[in-house]
Amino acid sequence: MKEMQTKLEKQKKTIDLPIGVFDSGIGGISVLAELISEMPNESFVYFADSANAPYGEKTTEEVKRLSMVAVNFLVDYGIKALVVACNTATSAAVNELRNKWEMPIVGMEPALKPAVESDINGKIVVMATPVTIKEEKFSELVNKFRNSAEIIKLPCPGLALLIERIGSESVTHEEEIERYLKRVFEAISFNDNDAIVLGCTHYIFIKDNITRMIDKDVSLFDGNNGTVMQLDRLINGNRVTKKKNTDENSAVVVEMINSCKFREKKEISEKILLNSLEKLSFKGRVNFV
């Protein structure tokens, strides 16, 4: 009886902890926005490792080391679940993270399955960082659907860093982004009914630029919604979901932390989150702490 009571008390304390979200920079803020939109009763802490961004061109071992440091920080902070909102960190380190911690841990996976299962009958181009593309986890995913569609791997070195530098202000840096996209798309002839899978959370911020550059009826897929739904299933299964808040004046509590200590980084991140929530038609309030 005492053991069961202790377990229930521990579970109650866990329920009140925030969900931790981690990325190498600002890219994962798009994932955080969808988490808030779908799970407004929860609180969140977001850690951006901008001091070491981007991860996509580092060695696998370095990505693993940095991921461990970031997650150790969040665990010490106190979280009940973790979202690795970075495709590169997921590919390189998610298995090690799950082996070390027992809490629910969800990573990012390029949305290849939804693209293959859609009514797209053209080729599927997967844009991703060099590290993601060379990892075994990604190769296994591609091989799984190799016989179902023509899949083209498109490494995009430097693109995450470019987006990290300009933030979500892709409109004011349109020429710079389009020069980059023109170069990487040069060898690919797009047709109507093709698809592009955005295999890096940073790339979501330049969706409109990609669509304008291609100028074809091409569908874009990202893994954000699948990640959110998977986390929802896991925390429900572990019975650590917060009860619905009936107070109409309540706000989602969010703390934005960056390995770069400059105040403007925090302010930029908060602005990007609010802009992302507006695009998702989120009607609630956010309380930054």
Tell me the catalytic residues.
Answer: 86, 200
Amino acid at 150: E
Q: Using alpha carbons, select from 134, 93, 87, 131 the residue that is nearest to residue 112.
A: 87
For residue 54, say if its preceding peptide bond is cis, omega within 30 degrees of 0.
Answer: yes
Find out whether 17 and 44 touch, Cβ atoms under 8 Å.
no
Tokens 């998610």, located at residue: 94
> Per the structure block, which two tokens stand in for 13?
């304390």
- Kindly report the backbone phi and psi dihedral angles of residue 123, in degrees, each rounded to the nearest multiple of 5, phi listed first: -75, 160
> How far is the C-alpha of 263 from the C-alpha of 241, rounded, in Å?
32
Counted residue by residue, the chain has a size of 289
